[in-house]
Structure 1
Amino acid sequence: MSYIDSPPPRSRLLRLYFLSLLFFTLTASEDPLAILSRFQQYLRINTAHPNPNYYEAADFILSHAKSLSLESQTLEFVKGKPLILLKWPGKHTYLPSILLNSHTDVVPAEHHKWTHPPFDAHLDHNGLIYARGSQDMKCVGLQYLEAIRKLKSDGFEPARTVYLSFVPDEEIGGHDGAEKLADSETFKKMNVGIVLDEGLASPDENYRVFYGERCPWWLVIKATGAPGHGAKLYDNTAMENLLKSIESVRRFRAAQFDLVKAGLKAEGEVISVNMVFLKAGTPSPTGFVMNLQPSEAEAGFDIRVPPTVDQASLERRIAEEWAPASRNMTFEFKQKVSVYDKFGKPSLTVTDSSNPWWALLEGAVKKANRKLGKPEIFPASTDARYFREQGLPAIGFSPMANTPILLHDHNEFLNKDEYLEGIDAYKSIIKTYASFVEHTRDGASREEL
């Protein structure tokens, strides 16, 4: 009897069974419906402030990490705020690693103003997935994992170690999440060479990409003066002096805004100033005392400062023009993030040939048959700033083309096809970054590697 006619050994049958099971699992996991279902599951976890369900989100991420055979650890720098760190070990552990960062929290939603409930992850007949976090930024966190799932099914093995961080609290400043991670001993041991973090949706066909971000300066200006009868006219009242400051701020804001309206600068390249509160007057049982001029008045401003401006010049403007002591005025910062990194350089990531990570990103996106737009400064703040402060290159990128910008808006949504194409973009990027061995942070040559 020939070998081919004999029954296969039991061990071979088992091996064939497990291989077929593995093939079925990988094939099923590649199915678009399964991919979208996982995205919807993540979106349905309510991680909105002020009471984000971080532990449920952490369990969800850890379960998928296990299915991908990724190493994982849960860091809890602050009790009740788990940070999930995943690791895909590279073949060359001496090479600087890649960090893919995303945040698990989302901003609150006014449920009654949504067409579909914000945590139902409703998929409509047009292929739009409505959910809080669909753009900001649960999409990116899951796209990382789905891209790795595809790479693993292709048999790809990274040369560099790839880390994924799922951090809490980005929407309230990131102080108990990414900031603590960036300052930790754990992070130092990770030997990170490049960080990818969130970007913004793009209304056109080009993906938006960010090399820096405006830093928040939350300013409170206070004016004092003698109280007086509501009918009396006299100089240097608290309200009069504060109104002079508000007008000065308004003129500055208008000049900056004009640059954007004229197309001379992008929004992220100007200093934005918005008054967010005005506090004055003497309360009464029916409202405010109408015949008494208050002795104190204050206003709050949300200022966003790009790293390209002269920080000292803006500080002088505030002290000398917006809140001069000569008008009985003082000021304080509720938050003031420096535009410089810890080495005293503007907190920006280079976007020319001197930064190989930038060229690699451009090439990887092109391989995925998509295009990058002109690099921008992010108009708001992200967790990327904590890594740039360490002197690391960090790029903001969320692959959402032909999509209206709806982060923090009612009816936030993402088209299912854009989500799926974004996975392929990350697959190309991760593969390109993780295969790169010609550069290390200390400038070692290829021969030395």
Structure 2
Amino acid sequence: MKKLLGIILGSFTIGAIYLSYNYITFDSKQLDFRKIENNSSYDEAVVHLSEAIQIQTISYDDHIDTTEFYKFIDFVKDVYPHTFQKTSHQLLGGLSMLFTWQGSDPSLKPIILMSHYDVVPVPEGNLPKWKQPPFEGKIVDGFIWGRGAIDDKVGVIGILEAIEGMIKNGYQPKRTIYLSFGHDEEVMGNNGAKQIAHFLKQKGVKAEFVLDEGGYLTDGLVPGMEKQVALIGTTEKGFVTLELSTEIEGGHASMPKKETAVDVIAKALVAVHDNPFPSHISKPLNDFIEHVGPEMPFALKTVFANSNLLEPVLMAVYEKGPSSNALVRTTVAPTIVEAGVKNNVLPTQARAVLNIRILPGETVESVTSAIKNTLNDDRIKIQILERSNPPAVSNPKHPAYKMLDQSIREVFGEVVVSPYIMIAASDSRYFTGISENVLRFCPFTLNKENIKSFHGINEKIGVEEFKNSIQFYERVIKNAEEL
């Protein structure tokens, strides 16, 4: 008995030493840069974003009003004359804008700043819920209201304001700067950013880095963190849209068969729900752990420092919320279910559509195969409607990432900066063949309130936050010169 007790105590001691050692050596990866005060007013820029929101560049699934898109292009020409004078510019894919600001040193790799100016529709039934009209760009209570305020006319206008101001002040970049503004990001970007990326690739462009939307300055969104955390997307989840369909003999509803087409699809959805993809620590999540973990309170820092040993504990924490759960597993969401045309007729056909967001390390093929195995029903036909594998993961140790880290701190001050996995899809995925450093960051704050306004109700951005975004893009352009 004493021997057993000794073994237990010895094992406990060794375990405690191991955990303590990992905690002590879990060093901070935060850089030391100070906030740079900016005396620029940017008051006209606020009006320009308001005006941009008023132009209804809406991407519907099956059509767009090209008049509004051309109106936006004309607006950009009118408001940013110096940018048009100093850059070459062209339309690709019909309505997407590509600007080239030629650098003075052709030996340096160019950089690419991206955004998109299309927005999602506002359902008519939601209009009464908006505190301010979605397409009037009203400036009320210190906010600029309307569709596109944070997704993503703030990016387009923020970049253009920075460029216009720098040109006015006589700035000449060493590196060539490309500006890519897509017109169809909300509907896959096939005619916009994809065409721009193809054009640049055909020209042989190899960029030092690409910066698109995606990461954010977060407040209260990272479990366990009291400080604000600036999340830089070093990759994003892939996606596949699967249609599940079945066809079974129907009949009169008064004589239901043992199993109908509806039953088959319903059971399939239950099977998918009850068999989620496993949660685990992927490569980009491990990068997140290494950057955020050392800044955590004692208990969570201990877990993060020993994530290889305490992975189940860490997964339990992150599986609690929808946004954090999406960081640790491939997710499946049924979005469409269809069957039947009359209440007394058994439908012969039924279908469901699954929206699957794929964690880096998995593929469209592996995920589709897993769903097929889960269903294990030959009566169900599986068809891929849309697909995109997860893009490569950018290296947070690369100077381009560190430059972006520096730029964030120079504008927002003492925040925690960390790489992370963007859980949605962006136009940047088309640019991985142009640069190994594809980064994603939007220079404004997301919290538990305004995160709901993405594609939702009462989208708005603070006036001061928008002004900070302009300063941020100025810092990125200037700091990129030193890479």
Q: TM-score, normalised by structure 1?
A: 0.79
The reply on whether 1:365 has 2:408 as its aligned counterpart is yes
Do structure 1's residue 301 and structure 2's residue 354 form an aligned pair? yes
1:46 aligns with 2:56: yes
Question: Distance in 2 between the 1:157 and 1:60 partners?
Answer: 25
Of 200, 216, 234, 2:239 maps to 216
Q: Does 1:397 align with 2:441?
A: yes
Query: Contact conserved, 2:216 with 2:232, CA < 8 A, in 1?
Result: no
Choose the corresponding residue for 2:97, options 64, 81, 84.
84
How far has the Cα of 1:399 moved from its partner? 0.6
Cα 1:74–1:311 change in 2 (3 A) is closer
Distance 1:428 1:49, change over 3 A: same
- Greater Cα shift, 67-76 or 42-51: 67-76
Measured in 1, the distance between the counterparts of 2:155 and 2:416 equals: 17
Query: How many angstroms apart in 1 are the aligned matches of 2:358 and 2:120?
Result: 23
Amino acid at match of 1:348: V
Q: CA deviation at 1:387?
A: 0.9
For 1:390 and 1:307, how far apart are their aligned partners in 2? 19
SS of match in other structure, 2:90: strand
Preserved contact between residue 275 and residue 302 of structure 1 (Cα < 8 Å): yes
Deviation at 1:330, TM superposition (A): 0.9
**Distance in structure 1 (CA, Å) of the matches to 2:316 and 2:262:** 28
Please report how far the alpha carbon of residue 37 of structure 1 lies from its aligned counterpart in structure 2 after TM superposition: 1.4
Cross-structure match for 2:122 = 109
Give the counterpart of 2:420 among 371, 376, 387. 376
Going from structure 1 to structure 2, the CA distance change for 1:390 and 1:190 (only over 3 Å counts) comes to closer
Q: 1:226 to 1:35 in 2, by over 3 A?
A: closer
Aligned letter for 1:239?
V
Give the equivalent residue in structure 1 for 2:3.
Answer: none
**Consecutive unaligned residues in structure 1, runs of 5 or more:** 1-28, 340-345, 437-449
Q: Which moved more, 1:227-236 or 1:210-219?
A: 227-236
- Specify whether residues 270 and 391 from structure 1 end up closer, same or farther in structure 2 by C-alpha distance, changes over 3 A only: farther
What's the counterpart of residue 280 of structure 1?
339
CA distance in structure 1 between the partners assigned to 2:89 and 2:403 by the alignment? 29
* 2: CA distance, partners of 1:86 / 1:210: 24
Paired residue type of 1:261: E
| Larger Cα-atom Rg | 1
**Structure 1 residue 97, shift from structure 2 partner:** 0.6
SS at match of 1:117: coil
**Could you say which residue in structure 2 is the equivalent of 1:337?**
388
- Superposed CA offset, 1:17-59 (max 9, x none): xxxxxxxxxxxx9543212112212222111133341111111
Question: How far off is 1:347 after superposition?
Answer: 2.3
| 1:238 and 2:289 matched | no
RMSD between aligned residues = 2.7
Matched, 1:62 2:72: no
Deviation at 1:74, TM superposition (A): 2.2
The CA deviation at 1:120 is 1.2
Does the residue aligned with 2:100 lie in a helix, a strand or coil? strand
Q: How does 1:17-166 map to 2 (within 5 A)?
A: 31-50=41-60, 51-52=64-65, 53-68=68-83, 69-77=85-93, 81-110=94-123, 111-124=127-140, 126-166=141-181
Residue type of the alignment partner of 2:389 = S
Preserved CA contact (<8 Å) 2:205 2:434: no
Q: Counterpart of 1:149 in structure 2: which amino acid?
A: E
Give a deviation string over 1:120-160, Cα, whole Å, max 9, x none: 11111x20111110000111111112222343455433111
Deviation at 1:104, TM superposition (A): 1.2
Q: Which residue of 1 aligns with 2:16?
A: none
Partner of 1:348: 393
| 1:401 CA drift (Å) | 2.0
Deviation of the 1:400 alpha carbon: 0.6
Q: CA deviation at 1:226?
A: 3.0
Cα distance in 1 between the residues matched to 2:109 and 2:79: 25
Query: Relative to 1, partners in 2 of residues 1:83 and 1:426: Cα closer, same or farther, differing over 3 Å?
Result: same
Please tell me the residue identity of whatever aligns with 1:380.
A
- Describe the superposition over 1:173-224 as per-residue Cα deviations: whole angstroms up to 9, x where unpaired: 1011001111225763444231111125544133332111122211110122
2-side partners of 1:33 and 1:321: how far apart?
56
Partner of 1:432: 479
- Share of identical aligned residues, percent? 25
Aligned-partner residue type, residue 427 of structure 1: E
**Gap change, CA 1:213 and 1:186, over 3 Å in 2:** closer
- What is the alpha-carbon distance in structure 2 between the residues aligned to residue 180 and residue 408 of structure 1? 25
Measured in 1, the distance between the counterparts of 2:472 and 2:325 equals 25
Corresponding residue SS for 2:136: coil
- Give the TM-score taking structure 2 as reference length: 0.73
Aligned length: 388
Letter in 1 for 2:234: Y
Determine if contact 1:70/1:86 at 8 Å carries over to the other structure: no
Deviates more, 1:419-428 or 1:169-178: 419-428
Alignment partner of 1:219: what SS? strand
Distance in 1 of aligned mates of 2:44 and 2:252: 71
Q: Please name the residue that 2:329 is paired with.
A: 270
Partner of 2:34: none
- The reply to whether residue 320 of structure 1 matches residue 379 of structure 2 is no
SS in 1 for 2:367: helix
Q: Residue 230 of structure 1: CA displacement? A: 3.8
Q: Which amino acid aligns with 2:88?
A: S
Relative to 1, partners in 2 of residues 1:258 and 1:188: Cα closer, same or farther, differing over 3 Å? farther
Cα offset for 1:85?
Answer: 1.4
Equivalent-residue separation in structure 1 for 2:191 and 2:364 (angstroms): 26
Is 2:155–2:442's contact at 8 Å kept on the other side of the alignment? yes
The equivalent residue for 1:198 is 213
Equivalent residue for 1:6? none
Q: Check the 8 A contact 1:208/1:375 in 2, yes or no.
A: yes
Instruction: Decide whether aligned partners of structure 1 residues 89 and 407 sit closer, same or farther in structure 2, where only a CA change above 3 A counts.
Output: same
Task: Provide Cα deviations, 1:387-443, integer angstroms capped at 9, x if missing partner.
Answer: 12556321111111265222211110000011111211221111111342xxxxxxx
Deviations 1:242-289 (A, max 9, x none): 2221111111349769774347955234222111111222x2xxxx14
